[in-house]
Structure formats: C-alpha cells, structure tokens
Amino acid sequence: METVSENACFGGVQGVYTHKSEACSCDMTFGLFLPAEAKDGPVPVLWYLSGLTCTHENAMTKAAAQGWAAEQGIALCFPDTSPRGEGVANDEAYDLGQGAGFYVNATQDPWKPHFRMWDYIADELPRVLTANFAIDEDRQAITGHSMGGHGALTLAMSLPGRYTSVSAFSPISNPTASDWGRKQFSAYLGDNESQWAAHDASILMRERGFDGPVLVDTGTQDQFIDLLRPEALAAACAEKRQQATLRMQPGYDHSYFFVSSFMEDHISFHAEALYAG
C-alpha cells in the first residue's frame, strides 16, 4: 500500500491510498478519514459507496461528512467505484465500464477479469483497512449514493451481521426493473435474469430484509427518480415489515447538495447503532 496524500482534517487525518488489488487485478485507490480517537485505538467505520462516474474523491470532497464523523469518533472509507487503468475494459457510455462497477462480480467478457467490485468491497478492502489502520472490524456501518446506495443496501442484506446499520441517498432501489440496472446486469452478469435478483435491493428486502435500522432519503425533485424506483423499496419494506425510515425530501435533487444537506442525519443515525450497547 502506498500513501498518496494525508491532510489534517477536523482533528484527524484525511488520507488517500493506493494498493494492488487481487480482486480487481489492478491498482485501486481509496480515501480514509480517521478521527482523532484513532490515535488511541480502533474506531468504528462507516463505508460510503459512491455513484456513477464518481471516484474515491467525489464524496471525500463534496459530502461534508468528515466534520460530523469527527464529532462521533467514526472513520469514513471512500472506495473507488470500479477498477481502472490500462487493460481494464471500458465503454463510451457513462453508465457502463470504468466509474460504473455497480458493486457486482462480473461473469461476462470483457468485464470479468477486473470488474469484481463485490469481492473488493465485501472482502479485500476491509482486510486492507484492518491490517493497516486503527479500524474496529466488529463495528461497521454502510451508506452510499445512487449506484452506491444500491451497493450499500445489497451488501448489507447479503452479509448478515457485518453492518450494524445501513442507509442510502437516492439509491437505485429496483435495478432489475430499471434502465439503471438492466443494461449493466446484462453486460456484467449475462442475460439470465435469475442471476440479477441477488443485486436488487427491493427483491432482497422482500426476501431477506435487514437485521437492523435502515434509513433512506430521496429528493422529490430528483431528476432520475423514475430510474431509482423508491416506491418499489417502500413496498418491499412494508411487505417485509422492515424497521426502516424512508423519507422523500421536498425540493431536493440528485446532487451532492442534497447528500451534504442530510449527511449529519445519516452519520448520527449510524453512530447510534455503532455505539449501541
């Protein structure tokens, strides 16, 4: 692992690091904010998964998260959204290829050699964090925006016991029924739609649910709301009788102005779960 940068930030350190990823077969970059408490021992971590076209940097610089995390003594991890570099498959469309990993393990060419973001987020990067930083592997929570909200919800419901809590900003809630999902799942996973269900938050909610609190915010003026399908997740939560707070925020769109407006709520929500008991 190599240090790209480290900056003092709200009494802690905001770092950027690169490492050779076995899962993605390329170099990967991530951001990590460590609060001041990490100097004295392991701290809980909140994972933030970003959306389409983003890198590790977008939320790190735009989400206004570090100050609230510092108040709660929580680390923040900002992974990249896909593998990158020479030899890594890409597409001219913004919603496929580099910047659009969709947090799945691709099984189809030309994507399968590198696009294994599920394994990277679920297994490899957590090992890197706990081996190199003061991170408490027993206290983890997860959130994300748009494609990252999709990833946060599907990971949380598929890895029982891993995360104390899950939240999302404008998540792609029902990708098997949306052009933000069907296109990418077909490319990455093939045409057998039975393989797609494991990566659909609404289907997983109906079938499994989440053993913990859930918070989801979506803006009523989100320009992509028809692709996000928040109504499908709401129906699944009701059917499952899931403990969940699903909010439609009047006037807000899909941007980081929206995310930053409600970041304090989300970090406080996760802090309550991470420090419970």
**Catalytic residue (choose from 114, 222, 266, 270):** 222
270 is catalytic: no
Residues 121-157 as b or e (16 or more Cβ within 10 Å = b): bbebbbebbbeebbbeeebbbbbbbbbbbbbbbbbbb
Query: Among this protein's residues, is 114 annotated catalytic?
Result: no
Nearest-CA neighbor of 173 among 82, 104, 234, 243?
234
- Residue whose C-alpha is closest to residue 28's, from 88, 107, 75, 70: 88
Nearest to 171, CA basis, from 48, 24, 31, 46: 48
User: Is 146 an annotated catalytic residue?
Assistant: yes
How many other CB atoms are found less than 10 A from the CB of residue 215?
21
The answer to whether 231 touches 248, Cβ cutoff 8 Å, is no
Q: Considering 56, 254, 266, 270, which one is annotated as catalytic? A: 254
Q: Would you state the structure tokens that stand for residue 17, as one six-digit string?
A: 């690091």
CA dist 51 → 10, 44, 98, 275 (Å)? 25, 23, 12, 28
Q: Which secondary-structure segment (H or E) carries 217? A: strand 214-219
Residue in 21, 82, 146, 202 annotated catalytic: 146
Helices and strands in the chain, H and E counts: 10, 9
Q: How far apart are CA 31 and CA 154, in angstroms?
A: 22
CB 211 within 8 A of CB 160: yes
Catalytic residues: 146, 222, 254
